[in-house]
Structure 1
Amino acid sequence: MARSPSFVNLLASQGSVDLDSLETPFFSSQCPEESSVKERRKWSVKEDIILIGAWLNTSKDSIVSNEQKAGAFWKRIVEYYNSSPLLVGTVPRELGQCKQRWARINDLVYKFAGCYDMALREQRSGQNEDDLMKQALDIFYSDQNMKFNLEHAWRELRHDDKDKRKPVDSPVPEPEERPIGVKAAKAAGKRHKTGKEEE
């Protein structure tokens, strides 16, 4: 059986292989899109915070506000993100990368916010912020079967009340007292008068 020079039998070979001396595999010369696949870059905490800032600033723009199509909205976010002076010297991110990262941040932060709210409702006397955080992280781990590693993102988004998006950190609001109706007010007035008359 004739073998091409780029084939290396890893099961039979115990010696070292010089990968630089091997020819380029057949498919990469035939399929240019295969060779242009970009390496995945991890997002740093700094990049996450810049992306969140870009999203918040763009979504709260009082001039354009929410009167923009999704494509234009994300184009503005990516431009804002890539123009950050904190990212000088780094490879710019593309729209798809920013959109995917935001989706992940938004999803996990929203889930963690629910865990934090649960920990807040179960808060016992004497527990501080660190205790609440530990309890929320434990709840998240048991619910999602993974560690929550976006605490920096949650801290950036926890007080954001953007109505277009799911609330990231909104504790259960206290029910407001309903204003009294006309009939109830008249009935209360009559009861009040009759009470004075009896005195």
Structure 2
Amino acid sequence: MASSVEARGAWSNVEDVVLCECWVKVSYCPISGNEIKFSQMWKKIHEEFVERFGSGRTETALASRWKILNKELGKWRDALAKARENHRSGQNLTNEIVQAQMWFGATGQGKNTFQHQECWEIVKNCSRFKIICTTPPVMLNETPLHDLSTTDSPLDSPMDQDSPRPRAPRPIGRKAAKAKKGSTSNNECAQFLEQMAKNSALRLERELKREEVDKAREEAFSIQRAKAQEQDMEDREMKIMAMDTTHMSPDTKSYWKMKRRDVMRRKLFHDDGPSNTDGLNDGNL
């Protein structure tokens, strides 16, 4: 008989974390990690998983779940790499995570937000998931102190010198640039958090509706089961009342008379109450 976990099919966050821990332990074992075969690897991972969490999942189930996690974790690694390449001077880790979530959702494959942060903390130092930036960080708020295009040149023509020249706008300072960039990042962060809240609300609403449907289905099943039991009892009582005792031995007749008495008592109790059982005796059956 399958366990309740396997029958349900849904993977919990705790199971995902335990699976990642087992994968790291077996795959990066200093003794056999580089030489172990694929089939033996998942056998060992399954043994570790069973020891830590229980025997509710098969080797095939673990391998299939890891395939999904591996794809999501790799996608998150790439999103973090892009966020670091687009790093803004003065930004903190929160801004980087927000940008990474935007890159993650912009790929259009799978989920719109990364939801396996605990799993990432376990595997992020593995060689497969290490973040490698392909280009140097781009500092987006470095503002030149002087505009070389506005300096005077000895090659300017007299006409240009005589004509009024529009003054170039004064570049904003570093503090103002940081404040402006920070305001943009805060807006992006607020929008992202708002979207996450909406997604959580929608997910909660779906779960509540699913619970209501399950509850209604269970109630309907209980009613149907009660009706079936009642009909089964009715059929048995009809067979007892219709039993021909003419050619039976005295002991057998006595047995079936008691059975009939029990049937009549149940019927009378159900219909009119126990006060109507005064007239029951063996001669009336």
Structure 1-normalised TM-score? 0.59
**2:156 counterpart of 1:160:** no
The yes-or-no answer on 1:112 pairing with 2:76 is: yes
Q: Does 1:66 align with 2:27?
A: no
CA distance in 1 between counterparts of 2:41 and 2:51 reads 16
> Which of 90, 95, 100 is the matching residue for 1:136?
100
Residue number in structure 2 paired with 1:170? 131
**Whole-Å separation in 1 of the counterparts to 2:135 and 2:79:** 19
Q: Distance in 2 between matches of 1:169 and 1:98?
A: 23
| Distance in 2 separating the partners of 1:42 and 1:140 | 23
5+ residue gaps, structure 1: 1-37, 162-166, 176-199
Q: Provide the rounded CA distance (Å) in 2 between the counterparts of 1:65 and 1:160.
A: 12
For the 8 Å contact 1:78–1:95, the answer to whether it is kept is yes
Task: Please report how far the alpha carbon of residue 74 of structure 1 lies from its aligned counterpart in structure 2 after TM superposition.
Answer: 0.4
Q: Is the 8 A contact 2:82 2:133 kept in 1?
A: no
1:110–1:169 contact (8 Å) kept in structure 2: no
Secondary structure of the 1:144 match is coil
- Give the match for residue 94 of structure 1: 58
**Cα distance in 2 for residues equivalent to 1:112 and 1:96:** 25
Q: Which residue identity lines up with residue 125 of structure 2 in the other structure?
A: H
Kindly indicate whether the alpha-carbon contact (under 8 Å) linking 1:114 and 1:169 is maintained by their aligned counterparts in 2: no
State the aligned residue count: 129
Taking the TM superposition and a 5 Å limit, the aligned residue runs for 1:1-199 are: 39-84=7-52, 87=53, 91-144=55-108, 146-161=112-127, 167-172=128-133
Q: How high is the sequence identity, in percent, across the aligned residues?
A: 26
Q: Aligned partner of 1:59: which letter?
A: S
Q: Distance in 2 between matches of 1:159 and 1:136?
A: 18
Residue in 2 that maps onto 1:189: none
Deviation at 1:103, TM superposition (A): 0.8
Q: CA deviation at 1:96?
A: 0.9
Tell me the CA shift for residue 42 of structure 1.
1.8
* Larger RCO of the pair (alpha carbons < 8 Å, separation 6+): 1
- The answer to whether the 8 A contact 1:75-1:95 is kept is yes
**1:147 offset after TM fit, Å?**
2.1
Q: For the residues of structure 1 that align with 2:78 and 2:103, how far apart are their CA atoms? A: 9
Measured in 2, the distance between the counterparts of 1:42 and 1:118 equals 32
8 Å contact 1:116–1:132 — kept in the other structure? yes
Deviation at 1:173, TM superposition (A): 6.8
Q: Secondary structure at the match of 1:61?
A: coil
SS at match of 1:83: helix
Q: Which has the larger radius of gyration?
A: 2
Q: Matches of 1:39 and 1:97 in 2, distance apart?
A: 12
Does the residue aligned with 1:39 lie in a helix, a strand or coil? helix
Superposed CA RMSD in Å reads: 2.1
* TM score, norm. by length of structure 2: 0.42
Question: 1:91 offset after TM fit, Å?
Answer: 5.0
